[in-house]
Amino acid sequence: MRVRDEEKVKLVKQTAIKLIVEDGFEGFSMNKLAKACGISVATLYIYYEDRDDLIISIAKEEGDRMGDAMIKDFDPEASFEEGMRVQWRNRYAFISENPVSGLFLEQLRTSTYQERFLDDFMKKFKHVIARFMHQVVERGEVNAMPFEVFWSIAYSPLYSLIRFDREGQSLGGKPFKLSDEVLWQTFDLVIKALKN
């Protein structure tokens, strides 16, 4: 049996993410991946059972990386505003520092892999955030609300700004570059909307 070459595995993962971002899941194949990596297709099957196993494996690793980044320096006992500020900072930093991974994770959310990806991704993160939200609701800092309502108000503005920044333009084609001033001005409005 051949020994697992960790450098090759790393190359396969990075190349797979890049190809999926460029070509989508429909345009992604093990043959295309092997060719882009300069390895044989048989080598891929040493590391992964099939295409789905490869995608789910990479999705789990990237989701774990993002989940770890989102809860870095996050205190579930923090005030609502401080906890949310850490969340915004961490999410923005992760996507800024890992733009291809951010696009890959975004594509997962709108794919047939969404459910399997989110199940793993949410396990670690959900416990910490649920504790935080329970605390801030109990302290009366925000009202209880459905998760979907909270997420739409709390994070959609951040992800819209990030998308505008990535595309280099806002609606109507107006040039856009995300600044700290705009980021935190938006954050202040989000906090104002969510606080009692």
Helix, strand, coil shares of the chain as percentages rounded to 5?
75, 0, 25
User: Which pLDDT score is estimated for 118?
Assistant: 76
Q: Do 165 and 178 touch, CB atoms closer than 8 A?
A: yes
**pLDDT tens profile 71-88:** 999 999 999 999 999 999
Whether residue 6 has pLDDT greater than 90: no
Q: Do 175 and 64 touch, CB atoms closer than 8 A?
A: no
Stretch among 15-19, 25-29, 108-112, 191-195 having the lowest mean pLDDT: 108-112
| Segment 50-77 mean pLDDT | 92
Q: Do 155 and 84 touch, CB atoms closer than 8 A?
A: no
Q: Do 125 and 71 touch, CB atoms closer than 8 A?
A: yes
Confidence (pTM): 0.88
Cα→Cα distances 103→18, 97, 140, 147, Å: 9, 12, 36, 23
Q: Residue 28: count other Cβ atoms within 10 Å of its Cβ.
A: 18
**pLDDT tens profile 167-194:** 999 988 899 999 999 999 999 999 999 9
**Angstrom distance (rounded) from CA 64 to CA 70:** 10
**Angstrom distance (rounded) from CA 8 to CA 14:** 10
Helix/strand/coil for 30: helix
Confidence band for 1, pLDDT divided at 50, 70 and 90: very low
Q: What is the DSSP letter of 29?
A: -
User: Which pLDDT score is estimated for 196?
Assistant: 64
Residue 8 β-bridge partners: none
Confidence band for 3, pLDDT divided at 50, 70 and 90: low
